[in-house]
């Protein structure tokens, strides 16, 4: 005769069960906290965009100018923070507040109004019946890089020269353009086209200046990277 042996089920101790329940509650609470945090951030971002859109409709020129002022200021602070510039005695240079102010004023008084008009003209006249089509996006990017980029770089050069007291009519600007315009445009063309494809394809016309100023911060990081590359190349040649 075969004898069946029945094993009694294992009984978990109360403390073991309680520890498991506690861990489950902690994990649930953590997940809930992360979910609430993410939802809060999304609501804040949505609230900011809604407030920005409202202000933009009420005062488009003022909002675009203010956006560019803040954008150029932040971008220059980032660029200076990443820069490896040093004084003659080898000490790392601090933040040049005068340069920050100069770039912020340029962004608010010149870049904001003029670029707002430029991008408005592109949206109005370049295939307005199908503004996000591949052909429209390509045409806008080409126009921006071929027509607007050289104008913008020239304005920046002229602004810096005038701010430093140089005579723009005495050949200083022409000399600066001859020495640096093409190299600056090459760097510009290696960065901006991709971001402008996204700009003209997905960004609403009213938010273009906000988007471009945000990307400008990344562009300054890119410029610092390119500058460090050139410095490394120069060190290798010496």
Angle between helices 172-189 and 149-163 (to 10 degrees): 140
24 found inside a domain: no
Number of structural domains (the chain) is: 1
Number of Cα atoms under 13 Å in the Cβ half of residue 20: 6
Per the structure, the complete domain to which residue 67 belongs is given by 60-231
Of the pLDDT bands very low, low, confident and very high (cuts 50, 70, 90), residue 21 is low
pTM metric for this prediction = 0.76
Check residue 142 and give its pLDDT. Answer: 98
Digit-coded pLDDT (tens) for 39-72: 888 888 888 888 999 999 999 999 999 999 999 9
Check residue 1 and give its pLDDT. Answer: 47
87 found inside a domain: yes
122 found inside a domain: yes
* 228's tokens: 């460090």
188 found inside a domain: yes
* 214's tokens: 């945000």
| pLDDT, the chain, mean | 83
- Rounded to whole angstroms, the Cα distance separating 136 from 142 reads 10
Digit-coded pLDDT (tens) for 146-177: 999 999 999 999 999 999 888 777 788 999 99
Angle between helices 208-237 and 172-189 (to 10 degrees): 100
Of the pLDDT bands very low, low, confident and very high (cuts 50, 70, 90), residue 6 is very low
- Rounded to whole angstroms, the Cα distance separating 204 from 194 reads 17
120 found inside a domain: yes
39 found inside a domain: no
Of the two residues 178 and 6, the one the predictor is more confident about is: 178
Give burial (CB, 10 Å; 0-12/13-18/19+) of 145. middle
Check whether 214 has a pLDDT greater than 70: yes
224 found inside a domain: yes
DSSP labels for 173-226?
Answer: HHHHHHHHHHHHHHHHHTTHHHHHHHHHHHS-GGGHHHHHHHHHHHHHHHHHHH
- Rounded to whole angstroms, the Cα distance separating 106 from 8 reads 83
* 151's tokens: 């104008």
Question: Which residues are CB-neighbours of 202 under 8 A, at least 6 positions away?
Answer: 132
Are the CB atoms for 162 and 168 separated by under 8 Å?
Answer: yes
Check residue 17 and give its pLDDT. Answer: 47
Give burial (CB, 10 Å; 0-12/13-18/19+) of 60. middle
64 found inside a domain: yes
């Amino acid at each position: 005769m075969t004898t069946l042996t029945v094993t009694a089920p294992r009984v978990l101790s109360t403390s073991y069960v309680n520890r498991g329940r506690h861990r489950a509650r902690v994990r649930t609470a953590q997940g809930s906290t992360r979910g609430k945090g993410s939802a809060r951030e999304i609501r804040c971002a949505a609230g900011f965009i809604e407030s920005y859109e409202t202000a933009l409709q009420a005062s488009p020129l003022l909002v675009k100018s203010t956006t560019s002022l803040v954008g150029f200021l932040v971008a220059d602070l980032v660029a200076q923070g990443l820069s490896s510039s040093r004084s003659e005695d080898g000490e790392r240079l601090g933040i040049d507040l005068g340069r920050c102010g100069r770039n912020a004023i340029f962004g608010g008084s010149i870049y904001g109004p003029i670029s707002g008009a430029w991008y408005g003209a592109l949206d109005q006249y370049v295939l307005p019946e199908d503004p996000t089509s591949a052909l429209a996006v390509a045409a806008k990017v080409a126009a921006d890089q071929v027509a607007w980029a050289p104008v913008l770089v020239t304005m920046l050069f002229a602004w810096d020269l005038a701010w430093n007291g140089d005579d723009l009519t005495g050949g200083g600007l022409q000399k600066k353009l001859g020495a640096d315009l093409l190299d600056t445009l090459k760097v510009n063309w290696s960065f901006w086209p991709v971001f402008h494809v996204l700009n003209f394809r997905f960004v609403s016309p009213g938010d273009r200046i906000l988007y471009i100023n945000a990307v400008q911060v990344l562009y300054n990081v890119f410029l610092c990277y390119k500058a460090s590359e050139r410095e490394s190349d120069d060190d290798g040649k010496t």
